[in-house]
Amino acid sequence: MSWNPLSARPRWRELWSDPERAIRTLESFSQTEADGARDIRAAAERTADPWLKEHFLRHAADEQKHADLFRRRARELRQAHPEVTLGEQEKRFDLAQSRSQNDVNAHGFLLAGLMDDLGEVPYVAMLHVAEQKAEALFRTQVAATADDPETRAIFEEILKDELYHVSYTKTALDQWKKAGRGREVTDALQNARGKRFLSAWKRFGIRAAGNFGRLLLIVCYWTVLLPFALIARLGKPRAEWKAPLFTAPEKRLESQY
């Protein structure tokens, strides 16, 4: 039996069934793709490799196309659901909030992702890891938007581009390995994946902090407080009536007469 993305991510199906959340998600995707296009275009201007420059430019064009597709679909949904504009300033939805803003953006690109900061090999490694994540994410969206053919078609088109992005970055990394830079490539990939793992761990900690605190209190109650309370209760002497050891003075005086 094939793996069904909806079984792993039912929250996405719920998101796309809510017009407000769907619109804000599309707008957030659009902004993220536009940011990626600018970053990769800047990298294309800095590389001295003609082959890599050509692929960077195509990649940047794809990201901008994705941004336009998401923005157009969000605009269509806004026209179909004008009520969503109400309270827009009060409830801001940003997909990037689900990630650690100190590390990566919503698409998985390192915020310090300019090739000048990272170097060519680490930059391409970062792109490769990010595009693998994006491919998995958009593949899930294809299944999650089964009830919305227009949005599903956008994700299907974008998924084809993501497969190309994964392929060309892998080719570049493989070429560097063959050129004797295997250790550099390996370190760059490990570093890119390590930053993503650290970012994911931070996000998990933030989300789980409240639930973990409540769970810890429950565990402490049942394993520490409750047993000691029962022991203390069992060891406490019961209050019983006992006959007085002496007779009251008034009774002694009466008995003398």
Q: What is the pLDDT of residue 30?
A: 95
Structural domains in the chain, sorted by start: 5-209 (1.20.1260.10)
For the segment 29-50, the average pLDDT, to the nearest whole number, is 92
Token pair, residue 77, equals 């949904």
Q: How far apart are CA 124 and CA 165, in angstroms?
A: 10
Q: How far apart are CA 128 and CA 245, in angstroms?
A: 91
Any bridge partners for residue 110, and if so which? 104
| Spatial contact of 114 and 39, defined as CB atoms under 8 Å apart | yes
For the segment 150-164, the average pLDDT, to the nearest whole number, is 96
Q: What is the pLDDT of residue 88?
A: 46
Residue 6's pLDDT band, with cuts at 50, 70 and 90, is very low
Q: How far apart are CA 132 and CA 153, in angstroms?
A: 20
Give the CA distances from residue 6 to residues 10, 124, 133, 143, 163, in Å, rounded to whole numbers and listed in that order: 5, 31, 17, 7, 21
Element housing 222 (H / E): none
| Percentage of the chain modeled with pLDDT above 70 | 60
The per-residue pLDDT for range 75-102, each reduced to its tens digit, is: 999 999 988 765 444 444 445 444 444 4
Q: How far apart are CA 78 and CA 23, in angstroms?
A: 7
Q: How far apart are CA 179 and CA 11, in angstroms?
A: 44
| Spatial contact of 67 and 34, defined as CB atoms under 8 Å apart | yes
Cβ count near 7 (within 10 Å):
8
For the segment 41-62, the average pLDDT, to the nearest whole number, is 95
Instruction: Pick 225 or 8 by higher pLDDT.
Output: 225
The per-residue pLDDT for range 187-219, each reduced to its tens digit, is: 999 998 886 544 444 443 444 444 555 555 565
What mean pLDDT is reported for the chain?
77
- Length in residues, the chain: 257
| Beta strand ranges found along 134-218 (DSSP E) | none
Q: What is the pLDDT of residue 115?
A: 75
The pTM of this model reads: 0.67
- The DSSP secondary-structure symbol of 238 reads P
**CA 92 to the chain's CA centroid:** 17
Instruction: Pick 29 or 93 by higher pLDDT.
Output: 29
Give the CA distances from residue 66 to residues 62, 107, 110, 213, 215, in Å, rounded to whole numbers and listed in that order: 6, 12, 19, 41, 42
